[in-house]
């Protein structure tokens, strides 16, 4: 394009084109503001309904925001005289081509939809899914964000989560804490269990119903193994887990129980 053509364009259509650019910028700013306002109002309305959890509300807001943004872009293209009908068809065709190339992304998206419908977990639940253990921070369009117990933020694809076993430790009001205590052969097992029961029951956040399970688990050459299994809310699991081990050590120590010793194998000459 030479200088004469440029000057001719500026003198004949420059003002009109400039107005279209300004109009497109204004339309984008106002449109994005209206989209943000609409999604916020929708979110507040859904929250007031008290029928949907935070995970589903965030998911719906994301879908609405993306859809309205696409409509806004098509409208702005119309300002410049672009045939939006043809562009929409082109966009759909491109979407199919991109979808075929990015089947993994579509798989994550489809899995996300199923997770929203089936709702095996929600934001705030403590789960083990997709090989990751932790608290759900977000269930997005394509991935689930989990905060692990060692405070590492982990993003797991929804397809991997949906295609594997999902353990939801927050689904029930309480869970069992599994611990093991070994006593020497010389110790009276019934006495050891009788001493442990009040000690375990006195641990903070241990449930009385069901009561802690303290029974003989198995026999070993060093002495019997006792299963010590208190019940508690998921939020207090690790506190009860560590306090149970402390209670076992303190109880057996106060009773003067000997430490179980591994039998020495005798060699034959």
- Chain segment 57-95, per-residue pLDDT in tens: 776 777 788 778 888 887 777 776 666 555 556 666 665
pLDDT at residue 102 in the model: 53
Angle at the Cα of 98 (from 95 to 100), degrees rounded to 5? 110
- Residue scoring higher pLDDT (17 or 32): 32
Q: Using omega within 30 degrees of 0 as the cis cutoff, is the peptide bond preceding 210 cis?
A: yes
Question: Which tokens is 113 given?
Answer: 């939809």
The whole-number average pLDDT for the span 229-247 is 94
Pick the CATH number of 14-101 from 1.10.620.20, 3.30.70.20, 1.10.287.1260, 1.10.275.10: 1.10.287.1260
- The CATH class for the domain spanning 175-255 reads alpha beta
Interval 107-161: pLDDT, tens = 777 888 788 778 899 888 999 998 899 999 988 878 899 999 899 999 999 889 9
Q: Name the class of domain 121-168.
A: mainly beta
Mean pLDDT of 25-39: 85
- What integer is the mean pLDDT of 95-102? 54
% of the chain surpassing 90 pLDDT: 38
Q: How many CB atoms lie within 10 A of CB 165?
A: 9
Domain boundaries, the chain: 14-101, 121-168, 175-255
Instruction: Say what the pLDDT of residue 97 is.
Output: 56
- Please state the rounded mean pLDDT for residues 219-243: 93
Mean pLDDT of 183-198: 93
- Give the highest mean pLDDT range of 9-13, 66-70, 226-230, 233-237: 226-230
In the chain, what percentage of residues exceed pLDDT 70? 77
Average confidence score pLDDT of the chain? 82
Domains 14-101 and 175-255 share a fold: no
Whether 186 has a pLDDT exceeding 80, the answer reads yes
Q: Is the pLDDT of residue 47 over 80?
A: no
In this prediction, residue 269 has a pLDDT band, given cuts at 50, 70 and 90, of very low
């Amino acid at each position: 394009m030479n200088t004469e053509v440029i000057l001719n364009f500026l003198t004949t259509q420059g003002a009109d084109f400039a107005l279209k650019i300004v109009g497109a910028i204004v339309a984008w700013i106002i449109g994005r503001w209206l989209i943000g306002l609409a999604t916020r109002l929708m979110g507040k309305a859904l929250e007031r309904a008290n029928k949907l959890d935070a995970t589903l509300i965030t998911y719906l807001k994301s879908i609405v925001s993306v859809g309205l943004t696409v409509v806004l872009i098509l409208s702005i293209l119309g300002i410049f005289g672009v045939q939006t009908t043809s562009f929409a068809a082109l966009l759909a065709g491109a979407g199919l081509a991109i979808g075929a190339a990015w089947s993994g992304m579509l798989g994550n998206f489809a899995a996300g939809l199923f997770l929203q419908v089936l709702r095996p977990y929600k934001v705030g639940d403590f789960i083990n899914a997709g090989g990751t253990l932790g608290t759900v921070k977000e269930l997005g369009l394509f991935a689930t964000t989990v905060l692990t117990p060692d405070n590492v933020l982990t993003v797991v694809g929804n397809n991997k989560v949906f295609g594997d076993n999902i353990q939801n430790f927050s689904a029930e009001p309480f869970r069992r804490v599994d611990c093991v205590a070994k006593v020497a052969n010389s110790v009276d097992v019934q006495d050891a269990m009788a001493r442990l029961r009040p000690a375990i029951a006195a641990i903070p956040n241990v449930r009385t119903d069901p009561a802690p399970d303290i029974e003989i688990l198995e026999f070993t050459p060093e002495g019997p193994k006792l299963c010590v299994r208190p019940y508690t809310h998921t939020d207090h699991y690790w506190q009860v887990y560590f306090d149970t081990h402390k209670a076992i050590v303190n109880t057996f120590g106060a009773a003067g129980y000997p430490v179980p010793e591994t039998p020495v194998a005798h060699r034959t000459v």
